[in-house]
Structures are given as C-alpha cells and as structure tokens.
Amino acid sequence: MKTLLVVAGAVVALFLTIAQFGTAGWTKPPILAQQHGFRGTGMDQIQTKAGAAALKAANLPPAPADPVEAGTEKAGAVYENVKVLKDLSVEEFNRLMTSMTEWVSPEQGCTYCHNTENMADDSLYQKQVARRMIQMVQHINTSWKEKHVGEAGVTCYTCHRGQPVPANIWFQNPGPNYKTGFIARNNGQNMASPSVGLASLPYDTLSEFFGKKDVDENLIRVNATTALPESKGKPIQAAERTYGLMIHMSSSLGVNCTYCHNTRAISNWSQSTPQRTLAWHAIRMVRDLNGDYIEPLTSTFPPNRLGPTGDAPKLNCATCHNGQSKPLAGAHVVETYPELAKSTAGLATAPSEPAPQAPAPPP
C-alpha cells in the first residue's frame, strides 16, 4: 500500500509538472535576436516579438503637416512680439505653430501657450518656456548633429509625445526622511527607483551625472587604467553610482550592456561598438541641455512644476529614447521642418561650444 501511494504521488507530481510547463506562463515566447557585435562574443540584442511590436507601436512619429509655399512677408514683421522665429515667412511660421500644438498640447490647443485675446502677451509661463525649447531643439539639431542626433534630428514631439509635460523627466531626489541613530543612512540605495531600473542602486544617480554641466571628465570611470595602482582608488560607492547610470541608459534605450560594451573588456574602447561613442557624447549633450536650457528656466516655472527641492524638470536618456535605441525608431523627423535644423534669429543664447571629442582608442 505504501509503495502504491509513493508511485501515485510520483505520477501526480509528474503530471502537474508537465501541465505547469505547458501553460502560458511557462511557454517561451517568440524571440527576436540580433547580433550586434563581434562574432562569438554574445553581443546580441534580445527582444520578444510581442514586446518589440508594442514598443514600435508606442513610438510612431506623427505625420508632418502639409508643406506650404513660403511668401515674402516675415512673421516678425506681421505679428507682434515674435522673438525666435521672426525670420520665417508667415506661412512657415503658422505651419510650425500648428505642428507644435499637435506635438505638445493637442487637447489644450493654442491657449496652452497663448492668450488668444492678445497673442503678443507673454504672461503665460508656457509661452516663455516654449521659446527657449525651440532654441534648444535648434541647438540639438545643429551643435549635436554630427556627434549624436545625425540626420534624424529631433522635434518637440521627440520628447513630448502629445503631452504638455514629457513623461520621462526627473528631479533631484532627496530621499525619505531619516531618523537619527545607528545606521540611519543607506547611501541613497535600496529604494527601487525607476531611474536605475528599479535596482538596489543609488536612487539619485542622475543628479550627479546629468544635473551639472561642468563635472570631472573621469567622474563616471571607476576602472583602473594601469595594471598597478598609481593613486588612491575610487570607493565601491562610486562604482555603484556608475552602475546606476549604466542601468538607466540600458533601460532607457531598451538594450543591454553589449549594445555599447564588449563585456570581456568593458573599458576598452577599441573593443566597444560605435554606439559607445554616441553614448559618450549623449551624456555630455544631456548635461549641456540641462545646464544651459533647462536649469535657467527654474524661476520661470510655477511651483507646481518644480521638484521637491525646487529644481526644474530635467531630461535624461529616456526623455527622447522612450525605450528604443533610436528615438521614434530613427525617423528623420526634422527633414520636413528645416527651420528646426538651423539657428534662427532670436533671444540671446548660451555660447555654442563645439561638442567634445570621445577618448581615442589605445594604439
């Protein structure tokens, strides 16, 4: 009898195991795998077909507005108080304004930025911010064209996606209130912050790496560059912050480490992919934009648009990429809006500095 029960139990266990692995939760979904690096290194990008399809559907660029025939009258001569786009023809200006409404405030319409009783009025903060954002887009498409955005460029929609406030912004994170006493601090970790992919890594990594324009060029690097130590090394906390940044970039682009790095030699530029150079410039571009275009608007934003420490909403990798290695799947969105691919007459802008050079591979 005892033997019979043992056999029966084994049969039931086997049946349940087979049934469990045959259900949807245990079925391997259709996979898309793309080799992205050197043969034999495992430098592949892995996605589920369903996930890739959903991501593609969520990142479709809008259809551009119908082209217009430019007239001879300039917007600055016809309309009052046009400061940034005054050199456009009236037709080009109106087309861009219509497109910006669809990109940023399709539900609110023109009144989101304008007082329709007096279109020249600057009392709405949204209008003041929009002026600076137009200049920022032009800056990206000119100063950062060669080093990062290429021919695809960006428009307001790249970040806003039909919303007045982009979904992927960030503020300084002061963390929770702590009690005093023994081991009262956790080094800003173990709070499962979305900015570091919900990992147990420092939750305010972005403030250190993206919040300031002028930082030490070696701030991110934690690997030694010599076989034997020549100076005091960096603490483990620095490595955790760097890893938090890498996790942020990985989740923002929907890729893994091997999209940029050969994991047999993470720090070696000669064994890295070209995307690593693009990412190197992207880090500096984000600092440039936050420092010269976003932070100076802090006093312009109302209190409800500021973070818990009173800082302005800032951008990061996810703001444009939204889970894709190329924003909007690499669509050339600026092609049909050439006025956003050049610096037009307007407000005083921050000095346009040439994009820095990435480190050269070792000989």
Q: Domains of the chain (ranges plus CATH)?
A: 64-162+333-351 (1.10.468.10), 168-174+192-222+234-321 (1.10.468.10)
Residue 279: pLDDT over 50: yes
pLDDT band at 348 (very low <50, low <70, confident <90, very high): very low
Whether residue 281 is annotated as binding a ligand: the answer is no
Whether residue 36 is annotated as binding a ligand: the answer is no
Tell me 149's DSSP state.
I
pLDDT band at 24 (very low <50, low <70, confident <90, very high): low
Residue-by-residue DSSP string for 279-332: HHHHHHHHHHHIIIIIGGGTTTS-GGGS-TTSPPPEE-HHHHHTTSSSGGGG--
Whether residue 156 is annotated as binding a ligand: the answer is yes
User: Minimal CA–CA distance to 330: which of 8, 12, 56, 30?
Assistant: 56
The arithmetic mean of pLDDT across residues 55-73, rounded, is: 92
The arithmetic mean of pLDDT across residues 278-301, rounded, is: 96
For Cα atoms 286, 277, 161, give the angle at the middle one, nearest 5 degrees.
40
Whether residue 136 is annotated as binding a ligand: the answer is no
Per-residue pLDDT at 359: 60
pLDDT band at 162 (very low <50, low <70, confident <90, very high): very high
Whether residue 113 is annotated as binding a ligand: the answer is yes
What's the CA gap between 244 and 197, in Å, rounded? 8
36 or 102, which is more confident: 102
The arithmetic mean of pLDDT across residues 204-221, rounded, is: 89
227 or 260, which is more confident: 260
Interacting residues of 243 by C-beta distance below 8 A, sequence separation 6+: 201
Helix (H) or strand (E) holding 18: helix 2-22
Query: b/e map of 298-312 (b: 16 or more CB within 10 Å)?
Result: eeebeeebebeeebb
Per-residue pLDDT at 351: 46
pLDDT band at 362 (very low <50, low <70, confident <90, very high): very low
Please state which of the ranges 83-87, 217-221, 225-229, 336-340 shows the lowest mean pLDDT.
Answer: 225-229
Mean pLDDT for the chain? 87
Whether residue 191 is annotated as binding a ligand: the answer is no
Whether residue 139 is annotated as binding a ligand: the answer is no
The arithmetic mean of pLDDT across residues 149-164, rounded, is: 97
Per-residue pLDDT at 25: 59
Rg (CA), the chain: 25
**What digits encode the pLDDT tens for the residues 95-149?**
999 999 999 999 999 999 999 999 999 999 999 999 999 999 999 999 999 999 9
Whether residue 1 is annotated as binding a ligand: the answer is no
Whether residue 97 is annotated as binding a ligand: the answer is yes
Helix (H) or strand (E) holding 47: strand 44-48
Whether residue 100 is annotated as binding a ligand: the answer is no
Per-residue pLDDT at 60: 93
What three-state secondary structure class fits 33?
Answer: strand
